[in-house]
Structure 1
């Protein structure tokens, strides 16, 4: 009986490890976007790797993932001279202001 419990516990630990490892490549949750034309888009479980380009300029972002994100006004996740990115923690939202321009891309903080 003790061997069976040990095997069950070991199996549970291995499964948990596989789930955690699989989730490392994605920010679990959603990012809700509102574009300049008032259309709403939802991105689910975005990859934590690389730059993510928005289809069009975004005026509002609601970060409902388990990771923080960084918003950029450029399509390639770079900061042009004199401009700044916006750090958006998990479970928060932000609106673009006219002086900085629309958001064009984002990266996930990992």
Structure 2
């Protein structure tokens, strides 16, 4: 009959290995998303929420764009008036830090896209 301590040790080793795998998987997932949400209001007053946007790439605010944006994530973003996260001559950008918002200015064109600061 096996000794009870050997079962406990094997269970502890399995548990530690499983925890290590889950931790590594979780960390790699968190590296690619900005935990939280970005909420924006369109020019027609629709409120849209994007959950856990990816850190990499350009994100669209949809065909209407955004008049106001609230950043409830753990990442900073740049807002663009261009739909492809570019800054053509004559357009503006806005640095939107984590947990802050940008409100509507009547003379301003809507934001069309956003990207994380330091994106890959």
State TM-score, norm by structure 1.
0.85
- Rg larger in 1 or in 2? 2
Distance 1:100 1:38 in 2: 16
Aligned with 2:25 (options 18, 24, 28): 18
Size of the alignment, in residue pairs? Answer: 110
Q: Is the strand fraction higher in 1 or 2?
A: 1
Maintained 8 Å contact 1:61/1:95: yes
Query: Unpaired runs of 5+ in structure 1?
Result: none
Contact 1:83–1:100 at 8 Å: present in 2 too? no
Unaligned runs of 5+ in 2: 1-7
TM, length-normalised to structure 2:
0.79
Cα deviation per residue 1:17-60 (whole Å; 9 max; x = unaligned)? 10111222222211100111111001111122211111112111
1:31 match: 38
Maintained 8 Å contact 2:38/2:51 = yes
Aligned to 2:5: none
CA distance, structure 1, for counterparts of residue 91 and residue 42 of structure 2: 21
